[in-house]
Amino acid sequence: MGESLHYHSFIPFLDNHAFTIVLMMMLDYAIVIFILWLGSLKRDLRPKGAQNLVEWFIKYVTDYADSVIGKQAPRYYPILLMLFMYILVGNLMGLIPGLISPTSMLTVTVTLAVSVFIMEWFEGIRAKGIIKYLAHYTGGDTVPGPLKPFLFFVELMSDISRPVSLSFRLFGNIMAKEILLGVLIVLVILFWPTVNSNAISAMMAGFSLVLRPLIIVLGVLVSVIQAAVFTLLTAIYISGAVASHEHSEEH
């Protein structure tokens, strides 16, 4: 579906595909900012409309951040809220004819996941210092000394694998949605010209037209779930990085 959109790039080092990615990402940012702007207009103690929607987003993200990260959560409200809204809007964009989801592009999801990984390390080192932060990979004082190097390697590899799982989970689910919608459009285009003269063509075209709204509903559900999963896992990773070992074990 994404390949059906072609834009001419006036920047020499951007080909059509790269320009499409940048355009969809910028449009995603613009929509998020517009939603937040709408939510800030005519603020009332009894929210309604856009304000109610934005406040629901904020409450959902902040409540979960509080429950996972604890008293340090307010520091991470902006990044978690922006991640959730950016990914959610990006996921939903592919449901609009003529647009594609920037999150259906692996380059975008990898960038988001690597950014989360870098932030996790930065915040962990800021909160604990580099020695204590690296020491938490050894499992603490309860782990026998000879096992610490092995456990350090295993935990480090597990931590490094997080960006891979984050990026491919989001990319795979959203790309599957894009492919399904694209295939249904192609089927309608292929069989529609002969629906009056061919029973099989009429059946296939009708099947595609009926199935498309169901896929769109499923796409909305998948879009919300994937945005929530990415954001919630980010909160968990941050919590593990900045919390003490005892608090992390208790959680």
Model pLDDT, residue 208 = 66
pLDDT confidence of residue 95: 86
Residue 36: inside a domain: yes
Using one digit for the tens of pLDDT, what is the confidence trace for 200-246?
666 666 666 666 777 788 889 999 999 999 999 999 999 888 875 44
User: 89, 29 in Cβ contact below 8 A?
Assistant: no
Residues 6+ apart with CB under 8 A from 170: 87, 103, 109, 112, 113, 226, 230
User: How high is the pLDDT of residue 157?
Assistant: 87
The per-residue pLDDT for 219 is: 85
146 vs 168: CA distance, rounded Å? 35
Tabulate helix, strand, coil % of the chain (nearest 5).
Answer: 80, 0, 20
The C-alpha atoms of residue 61 and residue 56 are separated, in whole angstroms, by: 9
Intervals of the chain under pLDDT 70:
1-15, 43-49, 139-144, 186-211, 244-251
Task: Give the contacts of 183 (CB within 8 A, at least 6 positions apart).
Answer: none
Please tell me the distance from the alpha carbon of residue 204 to that of residue 192, in angstroms, as a whole number.
9
**In a domain? residue 65:** yes
Max CA pair span of the chain: 78
Contact 137, 156 (CB under 8 A): yes
Question: Is 159 domain-assigned?
Answer: no
200 inside domain: yes
Instruction: Collect all residues with Cβ–Cβ distance below 8 Å to 42 and sequence separation of at least 6.
Output: 51
Closest among 240, 246, 249, 245 to 69, alpha carbons compared: 240
Residue 126 lies in a domain: no
> Which residues span the domain enclosing 22?
2-105+171-250
Which residue has 């029973």 as its token pair?
199
Q: Is residue 95 part of a domain?
A: yes
Asked if residue 124 belongs to a domain, the reply is no
80 part of a folded domain: yes
Please report where in the chains the tokens 């409200």 appear, as a residue.
Answer: 77
Domains in the chain: how many in total? Answer: 1
